[in-house]
Amino acid sequence: MPDASASQTIIISDLSNQEFLERYASAGRIGLSGGPTLVDKAIYRAERHLSENKQWGSWSHAFLFQGPRLDGHHWLIESDLQIHHKHIQLGVQENRISKYFNEKLYSTLAVLDFGLAEPQVSSLLMCALELVANRARYSLRELLGTLIALRHPRLRGRDNVLAREQSMYCSAFVQHLFQKLELELSPGVHGKNTTPEDIWRTGVPHIRYVLRREEAGSKLDQLRKKLRRRVRARIRQIKSRSA
């Protein structure tokens, strides 16, 4: 496991989602994602209670990388709510990492590497697959309980006020797995009150790789830049004529 001096953040901005994940995702590492949807923004806003200055969070989802399988694809395990044509996946499930190649839905990604040993990775995956097999549910109810705890910090270290058996949302799922390794990603916070932002802020030594592109400015900003370029070009023309 990396020691405290090895903890660092590496920012990447020149790769596609696919290139980033294929390069940095590996078994036992944690994935974080953020996006532009209303659900993402609602989670960022709720996470503002984690900061004294009420700054919004940056992450809305967390998952565990499983590694390559016999089909040649890299897989992950997550607790999520997905709605497909005539099919709903609600709970702990396995998906290919290609799900996160969509750069419009997943505009920011992070991979957290805790330098786990092979036995630790195997233990994580065994626990995660057990939850898949037992059909652990995605808990919207517990998510609401976490929102209540964020507003009332004294509740953060207690049982989720809306806890249910055999159910957990995304970051609670990841926290649960690492607690099995006796690694507290967010000490003092109950597992079922854990947010993706808590995992991002963990004090456990690790290296995190972050894919963060420069966001395009608003249409008004783009128009202003275009006008500035035209004005500068016009000034250069006038100066060249008068020279």
The 10s digit of each residue's pLDDT in 171-208 is 999 999 999 999 999 999 999 999 999 999 999 999 99
Question: Any idea what DSSP says for residue 233?
Answer: H
Tell me which residue of 27, 135, 50, 121 sits closest to 89, measured CA to CA: 135
Which residues contact residue 130 at a Cβ distance below 8 angstroms, ignoring those fewer than 6 apart?
none
Residue 217 DSSP code: P
pTM of the predicted model as reported, rounded to 2 decimal places: 0.83
The CATH superfamily assigned to 4-212 is endopeptidase domain like (from Nostoc punctiforme) (3.90.1720.10)
The string of pLDDT tens digits covering residues 29-58 is 999 999 999 999 999 999 999 998 999 999
Say whether pLDDT at 84 is over 70: no
The tokens for 181 are 């390794």
Domain-by-domain residue ranges, the chain? 4-212, 219-243
pLDDT confidence of 4, banded at 50, 70, 90?
A: very low
Q: Side by side, which strands form the sheet with 108-113?
A: 8-12, 207-212, 108-113, 30-34, 61-68, 74-84, 87-96
Q: Look up residue 78 and give its DSSP letter.
A: E
What confidence tier does 81 reach under pLDDT thresholds 50, 70, 90?
Answer: confident
CA atoms 70, 25, 178, 175: torsion sign: negative
Spatial CA neighbour of 178 closest among 121, 107, 117, 97: 121
Please report the DSSP string for 117-178 in residue order.
-HHHHHHHHHHHHHHHHTTPBP-HHHHHHHHHHHHSGGGTTSPPTT--TTB--HHHHHHHHH
* Confidence (pLDDT) at 228: 73
Interval 94-108 mean pLDDT: 96
The helix/strand/coil state of 20 is: helix
Closest C-alpha among 135, 155, 136 to residue 146: 155
C-alpha 143/C-alpha 137 separation (Å) is 12
